[in-house]
Structure 1
Amino acid sequence: MSTIPFFDSVGSPLLVLFFALMLFLQWRRPLRLLHFKPLRRVVRNIGFALPAFVMLRLALLPIPLLAARWAHDHQVGFLNWLLPSTSIGVWVGGILGFLAFDYAYYWWHYATHKVPLLWRFHTVHHTDLDMDVSTAVRFHVGELLLSVGFRVLLILVLGISFWSAILYEMFFDTAAQFHHANWRLPRKVEQLINFLFVTPRMHGIHHSIVRDEFNSNWGTLFSVWDRLHGTHRMDIPQEDVTLGVPAFREESELTIGHLFRMPFEKQRDWKLPNGVEPVSRRQSPTATSVNTATEE
């Protein structure tokens, strides 16, 4: 497992190309007005993510894949117990494992918001005051380390196959880039895509500083889990969404060093610097933007 040929030779180059494509498309057709210089944000987000990239390749990917191979060899997990070792059984198990992985990630994402320890790390991702494809890599290395244990446990309990796991990781990363991208798709096209998949407008609402909007749209790849649990929202226009975390409204505060330290500092309340909890513009139609940072 020192090398993962399919991921290293096929997956990684495709993900880099897709990232570049999203950069181009969001530049040509932006979905939301950006408040800060995009190049500086992209460089900061990528620079902050470099340790996470190393962790992805050294631990986040290989350890779950080793667990998947071990589970198969020792017939561990529900799918290995329930399905026959025939070609049809392998295909059915692969599809079910892929879907189960994404459904489990719906709940993992929910947990990163509701479990205080996990939120300490996940809040770093949400502090981005603008959102584009580079936000998809703005994850604290500590959050990724914690997710390794979740992935391994999920694979061992369900018996998810090696190929289901590696294909899901590729689709997971591609989906994250897509739904974080600041790309304005034609509304009817996005509605059609959103019937099955998470889209930029859908995930943009999740990054709102308004609590009711923030507590929605937990899905990563498929939007059907949010529909199933009644957490799907597409009713907030993007121009009415203010992105970020209420307590962090100054870009100058969100340096790479501070982002690394943030999980280990005293946590701030879900309130603006003036002590007020933000509300939807639809609830307060006379309100001005709650983004108090200086626009550039």
Structure 2
Amino acid sequence: MRETVSQLMKIIFPKFDKVGMPLLGLAAAAFFILESRKQLRKRTRPKIERLLENGSVAAVALPALRLLLVPGMYAAAKLAQQQKFGLFHWLKLPQWLRYGAGFLLLDYTNYFWHVLLHKSDWLWRFHNVHHSDLDLDLSTAWRFHIGENFASVPYRSAAIALLGAPASLVLFYEVIFEGCTAFHHSNIRLPFKAEQRLNRVLVTPRMHGIHHSIVAREANSNFSVIFSWWDRLHQSLRLNVPQDEIIIGVPAYREAAEQSPKNLFLMPFAPQRTWQLPDGTVPEREKRYPPEHLCP
């Protein structure tokens, strides 16, 4: 019993910390250099100011991700394994299929979590901190309120348990999840033809840039994290916006002075503003191309 509890409460994962985290660090360094040299969208604010603001938010939120979310998901997987609980155990799938289908379905459940962050008024209060950034780049990938990370623990852990996903797969998926999150938030201008092909499978910077638009129907699209298939499946895909026409952010939060770490931390606890610009207008855009048409 004591051994079981010890396994469930485990917070140190050698391969995750000694292999996964350094690989994520190298990927982040590469994305940071590339977005400085191959910029996709023009910046609207000084880079150093945003790095300090987003870094302050991340400094509070990332420890919660590593010390609570990752161990919580691992514990859910180990408990399901011990109790032979979850879809994969009930179907008695072979190991190779549990890992393959598990990776896909873990990503699918995160599509729904992202939709929920936008549809739930309560969850949006926390996710708004991420979207209210006035530019979009690598640093935005870590600008998540600690409350959002706390809220994700029961959802993501429950999804893992219901699937019966292997614990080792959960840790592997999390490394890929974090790497892809950093990639599609980055401000890297990939060769257009290459991104067209890549986007048939993966979420790319152009695709996710549209998700951070101040136009409501664009912000409420492109919810996928790794595979772009889920947006295609649920008809929430929107690729038809030229990148130089996108204004990043939330229309009611356009003041740079409001981007201080203190204001960002308190934002979820203040009354939420209506989705409109300070002058009362609601941002819109004329539809010129089919939704699946990727624009430069």
What TM-score do the two structures reach when normalised by structure 1?
0.92
- Counterpart amino acid of residue 196 in structure 2: Q
Partner of 1:12: 21
Map 1:179-190 → 2, pairs under 5 A: 179-190=184-195
1:152 aligns with 2:157: yes
Of the three residues 176, 192, 195, the one matched with 1:171 is: 176
1:123-148 deviations in Å (ceiling 9; x for gaps): 00000000001100000000000100
Q: CA deviation at 1:255?
A: 0.6
Map 1:95-134 → 2, pairs under 5 A: 95-134=100-139
SS of equivalent residue, structure 1 residue 49: helix
1:2 aligns with 2:7: no
Give the RMSD, CA atoms, in angstroms: 1.1
> Is this contact kept in 2: 1:94–1:163, CA < 8 A?
no
Q: Distance in 1 between matches of 2:11 and 2:231?
A: 37
Partner of 1:24: 33
Partner of 1:293: none
Of the three residues 69, 72, 80, the one matched with 2:78 is: 69
Partner of 1:206: 211
> Is this contact kept in 1: 2:212–2:248, CA < 8 A?
yes
Of the three residues 16, 32, 36, the one matched with 2:45 is: 36
What TM-score do the two structures reach when normalised by structure 2?
0.92
Q: Distance in 1 between matches of 2:39 and 2:165?
A: 38
> Is this contact kept in 2: 1:94–1:160, CA < 8 A?
yes
Q: CA deviation at 1:91?
A: 1.3
Q: Distance in 2 between matches of 1:30 and 1:238?
A: 11
Q: Distance in 2 between matches of 1:264 and 1:128?
A: 18
Q: CA deviation at 1:258?
A: 0.5
> Is this contact kept in 2: 1:210–1:278, CA < 8 A?
yes
Q: CA deviation at 1:254?
A: 1.2
Q: Unaligned 5+ residue runs, structure 1?
A: 284-296
Map 1:217-296 → 2, pairs under 5 A: 217-280=222-285
- Counterpart amino acid of residue 235 in structure 1: N
Partner of 2:67: 58
> Is this contact kept in 1: 2:53–2:259, CA < 8 A?
no
Q: Unaligned 5+ residue runs, structure 2?
A: 1-9, 289-296
Q: Distance in 1 between matches of 2:86 and 2:223?
A: 26
Partner of 2:6: none
Partner of 1:290: none
SS of equivalent residue, structure 1 residue 27: helix
SS of equivalent residue, structure 1 residue 279: coil
Identity %: 45
- Counterpart amino acid of residue 111 in structure 1: L
Q: Distance in 2 between matches of 1:81 and 1:163?
A: 19
SS of equivalent residue, structure 1 residue 61: helix
Q: CA deviation at 1:2?
A: 3.2
Partner of 1:288: none
1:179-220 deviations in Å (ceiling 9; x for gaps): 000000000000011010000000000100001211111100
